[in-house]
Amino acid sequence: MSETAASETKRETRPFEAEVSRLLAMMVHSVYSNRDVFLRELVSNAADACEKLRQKALSDPALAVESGSLAITITADPAARRLTIADNGIGMDHDELVDNLGTIARSGTRAFVESLEEGADSNLIGRFGVGFYSAFMVAGRVEVVSRKAGAAEAWRWTSDGKGSFAVEPADPAAAPERGTRVVLDLLDDAEDYATEATIERIVTAHSAHVPVPIALVLEGGLAEKTLTDGGALWRKAKSAVTPEEYRAFYGHVGHAFDEPALTLHYRAEGRTEYSVLLFVPSEKPFDLFDPERRNRIKLYVRRVFVTEDAAILPPFLRFVRGVIDSEDLPLNISREMLQKNAVLDLIGKGVTNRLLSELAKLAESDKPAFEKIWTAFGPVLKEGLYEDPERRDALFEIVRFRTTKGTMRSLKDYVADLRPNQTEIYYALGADEKTILASPQLEGCRARGVEVLLLADPVDAFWVRTALGYDGKPFRSVTQGSAALDAIPRAEEAASTEAASDAAVATLGARLKQVLGDAVSEVRPSTRLVDSPVCLVAPEFGPDRHLERLLAGREGPEARKAAPVLELNPGHPIVAALAARAAQGGEAAAKVDETAPVLLGLAHVLEGDLPQDPAGFGKALSRLIADALA
């Protein structure tokens, strides 16, 4: 019998089961959104084969390979529209070719479709062989030639992906000495995948850090180009990586040109294993305030790129760049769309806590470096105070503030400098620091040497309202409720002034409330005023004045506002004079009624707002000026 006839007797043609054509059509057109993924899948399979050989050699010395001898070779033939991906890994025998490349047939279309529809949390690519079958997105025919490590026989698997596959012996002389060769006859519209530029682009983007070197062979095998060296920077020990390598990798993974302010490189072991190489930039990325607030962390599984869209870190750490590489993270059917699972949650929690810990250490050990981070990303980090109560305590150790005592002040610094009898952390909200510092509500704190946090970021109005406090000290707005400053001694004795009596101020307050009506909820004497005659504060349990402005701007003219409290400074000459007139009653008290709209309008102006009734304020002020000049 001739060699050809002998070969024909051993050739097997097996039909795919259960409507495989429909299944492949679904996989090609629905599962993968980008045809580039086929090369990533085939390279991933080749890398896995090499890793399996390394593992097998540990128990079988006969399979031992020389260090650095394992490799993946991609051969491109643009003229023939042919692409070949070869490895010298573990290889496959006859049964493994049938099992591994016929998994769809064995598992059945129904099981595959049901698993896909139910969103199973196991590695469906491995279970159903879909990774390999992605080759049919670009190829009209696929040939696989493989020789099992240590075996003499080689086998060939072929299919057009439409209804059947064939398995037959391969010519030993033409087969790999060990490993697998996958040959794709590309479709007319996929010929670009046999060009150097396209191959290099895909490998660089998706497989640059697989644990096996990748070479590209062109021009009939006469030219070879190394695409990757098989080394993953994040898998190396920190001591083996130079600062220049870190900077170069940061530029690549973060598409950045600045210097990283913090580099975090470690390997986690325990319930799940993963490697981490993350960078905190020193300058703001262009998309820092993109409404989607997406992460830009590249996720790998066993050194194969999966996605940079997985929600690994919380949105308040979206400025971090880098790589997380999991050893055991399960995937859904598409590597572009990770399924929510406990392993990913565990990784995210561990990495987030480590990042916050490292930022806290940097804040103490290298203040200039941390100041760069805070200047660029402070408002974003403070989003976590509002969104992530579980990590609020950790964030409190990181956040820094501009205060009436200086910049980059921590809450720890604040508490250490509390004045005698001070039991609260005072803060003031506003559109900007200049406006806040001009607020009359700060006068009482300033006179007593009480430090005030100057909160000018929009997120401040929200987190400070939900935070209980720090180190047992609650937060207190200087523009809300009673100031509670009486127990705190003044830093210096105030100049002696002729203050109105409590009874006279009470009479004046009642008169002003009667005139102003619903425009104010209360009129009362103030302990927070020193130089200004009046100020407005929010009721004890209402929203802060600045928060109310923010909400009004969001909700529009229909937003409901709580009537503010008008506070009077009994020691101010204007208030003392008006209190005396109110106590006299009769015609003298009528001047109080004329002055009431001016006092309320002045209170609005002092905090940077327009009077509620600008026209009325203007008329009343004009009358007072005219009377004074008469």
Which residues fall in the annotated binding site for ATP? 41, 45, 87, 92, 100, 107-108, 180, 335
Cα(433)–Cα(319) distance, rounded to whole angstroms? 25
Cα(562)–Cα(353) distance, rounded to whole angstroms? 40
- Strand 304-307: give its sheet, edge to edge: 262-268, 274-280, 321-326, 296-301, 304-307
User: Are 88 and 179 spatial neighbours (Cβ–Cβ below 8 Å)?
Assistant: yes
Structure tokens at 106: 């064995």
148-158 burial, b at 16+ Cβ within 10 Å, e below that, comes to bbeeeebbbbb
Closest CA to 103 of 118, 115, 90: 115
CA distances from 230 to 13, 68, 72, 247, 304 (A): 37, 9, 9, 19, 11
Three-state secondary structure call for residue 528: coil
β-pairing verdict for 214-218 and 534-537: unpaired
Closest CA to 501 of 582, 563, 409: 582
DSSP3 helix / strand / coil % (the chain, rounded to 5): 45, 20, 35
State which amino acid sits at residue 222.
L
State which amino acid sits at residue 122.
S
Cα(384)–Cα(282) distance, rounded to whole angstroms? 19
β-pairing verdict for 321-326 and 274-280: antiparallel
395-420 burial, b at 16+ Cβ within 10 Å, e below that, comes to bbbbbbbbbbeeebbbbeebeeebbe
Cα(271)–Cα(401) distance, rounded to whole angstroms? 38
Binding annotation: 41, 45, 87, 92, 100, 107-108, 180, 335
β-pairing verdict for 155-159 and 164-169: antiparallel
* Distance of alpha carbon 375 from the chain centroid: 18
Q: Where are the alpha helices (DSSP H) in 279-398?
A: 342-365, 367-381, 383-387, 392-396
- Strand 475-477: give its sheet, edge to edge: 406-409, 401-403, 452-455, 425-429, 475-477
Which one-letter DSSP state was computed for residue 184?
E
